[in-house]
Amino acid sequence: MEGLKFVETFTPYLQYVHSVKEVVFHGRSRFQQVDILDLHIFGRTLFLDNKIQSAEVDEYIYHESLVLPGLVTVGRPRRVLILGGGEGATLRDVLRFPFVERAVMVDIDGELVDLAKRYLKPWHQGAFEDSRTELIIDDARRYVFETRETFDLILSDLTEPVEGGPSRMLFTLEFYQRLREILTDGGVLVVQSGSADPTYLEFFASLVRTLEEVFPTVRPYWAFVYSFQSPWAFTLASLGRDPLKVPESEIQQVLSEAGSGSRFRYYHAGLHHAMFALPGYVHDALKTQGRVLTDENPFVWEA
């Protein structure tokens, strides 16, 4: 394998070249190209449609950033819905807390979930076998519009809407209106919102604008994810508390209730409010870029 390279195309004008130690899996599911590679720098790494999704070196940064700010804003959510999240790490971090009674994970790609169960065990750490887990292999949009359940916390861990991909209709006004309907009073939605680098902010800005049409409180935030080689954006939309008004002492108390053996390597009570402090160029983009995304006119990245 000496000299084997994997070329990741971020845009038509920007590529990253990864040095590969071993090819763990290379193939296609029904919905997307899947590559699981052991890289010299990032360790075991998942790529979907030739774009990095998660790396052993820092997956905890992304997943703790997605799960924990929303979880502590709700307080102690009992019912959680995860959209996407095929690796199982979002599910893992939700289930660290004993007050979570039920976690429903909906992912369209059952083949990817099976690959994760086999090859990405440090990500899910057995979360798929937890008695509180209900794994549903289905289209997230169909599930959301058909379910009669309600949830305290919804986590959108979906791949970005590329042309021909499975997620293009999962970032629209109509979809978020339905998510609001299935949230409980005071419920929170968190959406992974793409890159927050200075040149590709239209998607992030569009999501914030769209969510502001639906939710009374919308707070964008970010984290730098080393393996993504970029700051990464998230958006928290709340029907109840403002995440900026959750006391640090309360955050610490909620985190202390995580099960024995739980260790959060990135997120902590002192970091929570700082994650919502965005630089000037992001504030400018949120004011001047983006549009309200609709079923008729969704956002689609050119593949």
* Of 80, 239, 85, residue with least CA distance to 153: 80
Which CATH number fits the domain 59-288, given the four candidates 3.40.605.10, 3.40.50.300, 3.40.50.150, 3.10.310.10?
3.40.50.150
Q: pTM higher than 0.75, yes or no?
A: yes
State the pLDDT at residue 1.
43
As annotated, the active-site residues are: 157
Low-confidence ranges of the chain (pLDDT < 50): 1
Domain extents for the chain? Answer: 5-55, 59-288
| pLDDT tens-digit map of 205-257 | 999 999 999 999 999 999 999 999 999 999 999 999 999 999 999 999 999 99
Report, at the CATH architecture level, how domain 5-55 is classified.
Answer: Roll (2.30)
State the pLDDT at residue 162.
76
State the pLDDT at residue 2.
54
State the pLDDT at residue 302.
67
**CA of 77: how far to CAs of 173, 182, 220, in Å?**
25, 14, 21
State the pLDDT at residue 109.
96
Nearest-angstrom CA–CA distance, 64 and 201: 22
